[in-house]
A and B are shown apart, each in its own frame.
Chain A
Amino acid sequence: GESVGLHLPTLSVQEGDNSIINCAYSNSASDYFIWYKQESGKGPQFIIDIRSNMDKRQGQRVTVLLNKTVKHLSLQIAATQPGDSAVYFCAESEYGNKLVFGAGTILRVKS
């Protein structure tokens, strides 16, 4: 697949387990954060976002946690499914300015 040869961090999980994908961001003035999922051969797809005045936000099967003290963002996926296999990107922006993407993490779900 497209991930062959990529030297991105890789998280391998068993189907049904929970996944935690981590991201360290760089700009302490960033006030908006997003997680994107990119499946092989497709464009990034919005998963969940969070503003800097929050430290946790939940969606369907996904939770984003924000720790501004250490500039850390995480994405938790509950009951991971094979369809969750993809590259996950965090992105940050400082009020309406351009999105700056992180390096990406490959999630592999084993059946």
Chain B
Amino acid sequence: DTAVSQTPKYLVTQMGNDKSIKCEQNLGHDTMYWYKQDSKKFLKIMFSYNNKELIINETVPNRFSPKSPDKAHLNLHINSLELGDSAVYFCASTQTAAALGETQYFGPGTRLLVL
């Protein structure tokens, strides 16, 4: 069974469109994250939710809106897509939000290409 899964794996869309990426974890973890990995492989956190509550919100344009319907799911909706949004988006999860020694489990990534 896949621990952290994301859909879709690939997403190609036009500038200005609105799209969503979904993430699910079956590990029973309380905390989930969204990361963005750019073309230089730089990996940066965007958001973190703990038990459906937002706990980390980095400097991300408000076109990006995460939603956590329950603690096993964290979706990312992006409005008015721009060329610079092209990246690989990774979902991750940890057992708890703030504990030393927590391993983050990453999903396989969603490759977004904005044309």
Contacts and interface: CB of A to CB of B under 8 A. Distances in A.
A7 interface: yes
Interface residues of B, number: 25
Given A89-B43, A103-B42, A49 B104 contact: no
A1 interface: no
Interface residues of A, number: 27
**DSSP majority for the A interface?**
loop
B63 interface: no
Nearest to A8: B41
Interface string B84-115: 00000010100001111111111111000000
B15 interface: no
A31 B102 CA distance: 12
Residue of A6, A31, A38 contacting most chain B CB atoms (<10 Å)? A38
B56 interface: yes
Contacts of B76: none
A33 to B, nearest CB: 11
Interface in A62-111: 87, 89, 95-101, 103-104
Contact of A44 (B43, B58, B98): B43
Given A98-B45, A98-B48, A8 B40 contact: yes
Contact of A34 (B42, B99, B103): B103
Interface of B: 4, 40-45, 48, 56, 58, 90, 92, 97-109
Interface of A: 6-8, 31-32, 34, 36, 38, 41-46, 49, 51, 87, 89, 95-101, 103-104
